[in-house]
Amino acid sequence: MNDPGMLQLLMAADHKQLAKFPDIPLERVVAEVQALKNAPATPPAPISPSAATGPTVESTDALGASIAALATNIWRAQTRMVDPKTGAPREETRRLYRHIEGALEALTGMGVRLSDWIDQPYDAGLPVKVLSFQPTPEVTRDTVIEAVRPAVFWQDRLLQVGEVIVGIPQTPSNTLP
């Protein structure tokens, strides 16, 4: 079987790969999950006395980076599965969408929170990097109109700064002909 697995499709950078999800039989998905579940666990390394005092800054940062990457990839999958106008899951991804929602709920249960700030007024104090300001006819004040990456928080600690595009009100000087 040379087809990519469910996890490979989920993490695919090419959003067109997501259309393949409905074609994956449920039995195959269950088999992949069982294989992961039944895989032999590697024994933990012995704990040194200095490590027994608690996590190091490096291990905490690595965990935070992993959580942020996982949350971002699930968020990206979710945003590719919904109709941007209605916010409802697209018909071709509806079955998989339930699992994405479940993954996001599990992250929320762990204390992970995502914010993309879309349709929110832009404030310079938001934990975001503005990639561009674009004149937008639909806004009356600076508003986040698109998110490239969400801001990710874990237990109220910022793990990842979001990346957004901000729409600004059109004026005669910034209107394109």
pLDDT tens-digit readout, 62-120: 899 999 999 999 999 999 999 988 989 999 999 999 999 999 999 999 999 999 999 99
Rounded distance, CA 21 to CA 164, Å?
Answer: 28
Which pLDDT score is estimated for 106? 96
Which pLDDT score is estimated for 176? 57
3-state secondary structure of 166: strand
Which pLDDT score is estimated for 42? 63
Which pLDDT score is estimated for 169? 96
Which pLDDT score is estimated for 31? 72
pLDDT, one tens digit per residue, over 19-55 is 555 555 667 766 776 776 676 766 656 655 555 555 5
Residues near 34 by beta carbon (within 8 Å), at least 6 away in sequence: none
Higher pLDDT, 97 or 5: 97
Rounded distance, CA 97 to CA 82, Å?
Answer: 9
Residues near 17 by beta carbon (within 8 Å), at least 6 away in sequence: 4, 9
pLDDT band at 163 (very low <50, low <70, confident <90, very high): very high
pTM for the complete prediction?
Answer: 0.64
Which pLDDT score is estimated for 92? 93
Which pLDDT score is estimated for 85? 85
E strand segments, the chain: 112-115, 128-136, 143-149, 151-154, 157-160, 162-169
Dihedral in degrees, nearest 10, Cα atoms 165, 62, 155, 161: -10
Which pLDDT score is estimated for 1? 47
Which pLDDT score is estimated for 61? 86
Which pLDDT score is estimated for 172? 74
Q: Are strands 157-160 and 151-154 parallel, antiparallel or unpaired?
A: antiparallel
Which pLDDT score is estimated for 87? 87
Structure tokens that stand for 150 in this block: 């969400």
Using alpha carbons only, give the angle 100, 120, 173 rounded to the nearest 5 degrees: 130
- The count of other CB atoms within 10 Å of the CB of residue 8 is 11
